[in-house]
Amino acid sequence: MTAQILLSPPDVGALEESYVLRAIRSGWIAPAGPDLVAFEQEIAERTGTRYAVAVNSGTAALHLALLTLGAGPGQVVVVPTLTFAATANAVTYTGAEPVFVDCDPATGNIDVELLADLLHRLTAAGERIAAVIPVDMFGACADYDTLLPLCAAAQVPVVEDAAEALGATYRGRPAGSFGRVAALSFNGNKIITTSGGGMLVSDDAALIERCRYLSTQARQPVPHYEHTDIGYNYRLSNLLAALGRAQLSRLDEMMARRRDLRERYAKLFAATPGVRLLGDGDPGSNCWLTIVVVDPARAGWRADELAAHLAERQIETRPVWKPMHLQPVFDTARTALTGAAARLFDQGLTLPSGSALTETQIGRVLDATAQFLETHR
């Protein structure tokens, strides 16, 4: 039986085992310890920020960031419609209303011209805008040269959703360093993983300390258990932080493997009309996932036909995120749309991209894709 090739499986081995074993033997099993402190410092250094607090998911990081910025009922938060549900869900946890903006069809990142128009309309209508959350889609940063001045002019804080983008850069500056605060994810399919986990990074010491306080059940600094706020059990454990430290030490190696695979996909599709790689040519991308976008009118085939061909050969693919405004749970939300995200959902396909893929597995994927292209010329 042919083994399944997964999209982006965890890339862990002997180094990760040694870090976790060392943490276990140290006795720091509780959600505190030296690996947790060191992991926060190392992530802050990697993202070019001054402070960090580790939590148990990227969603928790977004939730705490929004709470700390005061998001709540009667306010709106601007979110790209092309994103994973966690971005919008974190907004709803606070009681604020997500308002969705369409994407740039070339990159999948938030359409900043559309954002400018939306901010103008919301401000003119007297709406209270708690934040804008740009998402660094599939490991490539948003257009911050344009976006940050827009938000500054509107006096709206930016919460950078860099869940997919650790290691990426924009004009030489690291993902996670834009805006007031940024959220990272270390979920199992991300470029590095702690199995589950996330982190907030910022240059704002008070903001990070407020998030740290809320992430530990809002316990007051007294000998007994004293609480004056509702807190959350969001802290990352020391054991998982140890796993994260091992993964972080290999980040550059893992990005290089993903970039090499993307370049091989680019060569494979280069002569096929109507086919492109989303965001291709971005030197700062961490190449977390590679997306092929297919115009069926020019290519003569659809993305879902390639997906079916690969699935028959035990190769996993996945459609691009279904836009939030098309999700039943958000179908009454306010939007600013061009149709770009819906087209990417219809025409995009995420290909196997993981750094743990072996040469044999990569060969199977490329050969199967080449076979499909040959039969659809």
Q: List residues with catalytic annotation.
A: 190
Q: Strands of 348-351's sheet, edge to edge?
A: 275-277, 290-294, 348-351, 318-319
CA atoms within 13 A on the CB side of 33: 19
**DSSP one-letter code for 186:** -
**DSSP one-letter code for 236:** P
- CA proximity to 96, closest of 130, 68, 69, 121: 130
Question: Distance between alpha carbon 336 and the CA centroid of its chain, in Å?
Answer: 22
d(CA 57, CA 262): 27
- CA proximity to 88, closest of 22, 133, 155, 138: 133
247: alpha, beta or left, given left = phi > 0 and alpha = psi -120 to 50? alpha
- How large is the C-alpha radius of gyration of the chain? 21
Residue with tokens 């990005």: 255
Residue with tokens 């965890």: 10
**Exposure of 255 by Cβ count < 10 A (0-12 exposed, 13-18 middle, 19+ buried)?**
buried
Residue pair 53/47 in contact by the 8 Å Cβ criterion: no
**DSSP one-letter code for 195:** S
In the chain, which ranges are continuous DSSP H helix?
Answer: 14-26, 34-47, 58-68, 85-94, 112-124, 144-153, 205-215, 238-249, 251-269, 296-299, 303-312, 340-347, 359-375
